[in-house]
Structure 1
Amino acid sequence: MIGRLVSPVAAVLVVVAAFLSPAAAQEPRELIEELGGEAIRVLANEDASEEQRQARFEALFQEGFDVPLVARIVLGRYWRAATPEQQEEYVDLFYRYIVDTYTARLNAYSGQTFEVVGQQPLGDDEVLVKSLIKEPGGPALKVDWRVLTREGEARIVDVIVEGVSMAITHRSEFGSVISKTGNVEALLERLRAQTGQG
């Protein structure tokens, strides 16, 4: 899991900044600069209670996180093995799982900064934006953002932390759960338990 590889605050910055509501007219680099800055502002707001910050983060997820698309990417080949009812429940549980996992780390913020340092074209409509999350007195964390633009709207489709794709990491975790039993229901049961929906 990505939280085991990076500090709790870095994990929150990566995920929350990734799924803030993007502005369609922005260039990919400008988009990431704005999102990273907004994530820092939310984390650094000392006047907000923990509950208020959690509510704000969840609202931001709801605004900008394309839950059905990313959930389907993470489930990979097992998406086709699920019934329509299982697919619908899985998308809801995936959203709850992501929100619960990363908002639980909000209180660990201690002055981290965010900086975009470059970008690299990946295709006609996709760009890799490179950034650093800097820990006070510690090494900088390299974070790359895959930004896809379709019909004039820019969306982040993956975040790569020190070479580790978050989508692939979650896909591996979920796939391992399914492969042990051979059915998607096992994953749904695990997600229900982890999100308190069981």
Structure 2
Amino acid sequence: MKIHPCKIFFPALAISGILLAGNVVSKQAIFPLITQVHASEATYSDNQLKEWLRSTGNEMVAIVNADYSKTEQKEKFLPILNKYVDVDGIAKFCLGRFWRVATSDQQQEYTQLFHQVLVNSITNRLGEYKGVSFTIGEITSTEGNKKSIQTTLKRPKQPDVVIQWIIEIKNGSPMVVDIIGENASLAVTQRGDYTSFIARHQNDVSALIAALKRQLQNHS
């Protein structure tokens, strides 16, 4: 059985890398009013978070538009994902209750595989989102002191897609922790897929790890 970790989240993340190519603004210009306190206490205004979301794509856009091989794209995308997306946190969330029963070695191996499959999923789809436009809408507060930023993707000859980016301040910096598409949390949806798969395999986390390994081995 083929496993598709965050199969909706990853393409959406790839789209963001292409679409968030608005005005190139330095971090110094975007965040001049951030309170200079301990990193864990840093605060961002709504406008600053919107500009952060717009600017994060610039680094990805440079990779998308460059003449890189798939291998080179993966190598360059991974540090960007680690910088702007809470990949470890999402991986842990997607494993659900089985994170607590997994051994420390299993947790580490699963998280590493999660990173690799994520990068594969993104680089496989980069060529599919040319010619789209992107607008940033309202920002609202959500539970757990997170922020939700609404965006609209306009795709050639296809219906618009509304996506909400869930942002949380972690270690003093904004991080993407989830995406809401079609009124569904993509992280929650993926967690359901993962936990169901493990439950069908005698609650054995190693079954998921083996499936992810097979997917990586079969990846072209």
Aligned to 1:105: 125
Q: Is the 8 A contact 1:40 1:114 kept in 2?
A: no
Q: Of 135, 147, 158, which residue of structure 2 is paired with 1:127?
A: 147
Q: Of 70, 91, 107, which residue of structure 2 is paired with 1:87?
A: 107
Task: Give distance in 1, aligned partners of 2:18 and 2:196.
Answer: 26
1:125, CA displacement in angstroms? 2.8
Structure 1 residue 58 corresponds to structure 2 residue 78: yes
1:177, CA displacement in angstroms? 1.3
Aligned to 1:32: 53
Aligned to 2:15: 13
| Pair 78,65 (structure 1): closer, same or farther in 2 beyond 3 Å | same
**Structure-2-length-normalised TM-score:** 0.73
1:29, CA displacement in angstroms? 1.6
Q: Is the 8 A contact 2:60 2:80 kept in 1?
A: no
Q: Is the 8 A contact 2:198 2:204 kept in 1?
A: yes
Aligned to 2:199: 179
When Rg is computed on C-alpha atoms for both structures, the one with the higher figure is: 2
| Pair 55,85 (structure 1): closer, same or farther in 2 beyond 3 Å | closer
RMSD: 3.0
Q: Is the 8 A contact 1:126 1:146 kept in 2?
A: yes
Q: Is the 8 A contact 1:9 1:109 kept in 2?
A: no
Q: Of 170, 186, 193, which residue of structure 1 is paired with 2:214?
A: 193
Task: Give distance in 1, aligned partners of 2:128 and 2:163.
Answer: 19
Q: Is the 8 A contact 1:13 1:39 kept in 2?
A: no
Aligned to 1:146: 166
| Pair 148,9 (structure 1): closer, same or farther in 2 beyond 3 Å | closer
Aligned to 2:41: none
1:36, CA displacement in angstroms? 4.3
Aligned to 2:40: none
Deviations 1:13-32 (A, max 9, x none): 158889xxxx6855322221
Structure 2: where are the runs of 5+ without partners? 21-26, 35-43
Deviations 1:145-184 (A, max 9, x none): 1111245321111011222322112212211210112211
| Pair 12,128 (structure 1): closer, same or farther in 2 beyond 3 Å | same
Task: Give distance in 1, aligned partners of 2:18 and 2:195.
Answer: 24
163-172 vs 181-190, which moves further: 163-172
Q: Is the 8 A contact 1:36 1:114 kept in 2?
A: no
Deviations 1:55-91 (A, max 9, x none): 4323322333333222111111110010111111111
Q: Match for 1:12: what amino acid?
A: A
Aligned partner of residue 128 in structure 1, secondary structure: strand
| Pair 77,194 (structure 1): closer, same or farther in 2 beyond 3 Å | same
Structure 1: where are the runs of 5+ without partners? none
Structure-to-structure mapping, 1:155-170, within 5 angstroms: 155-170=175-190
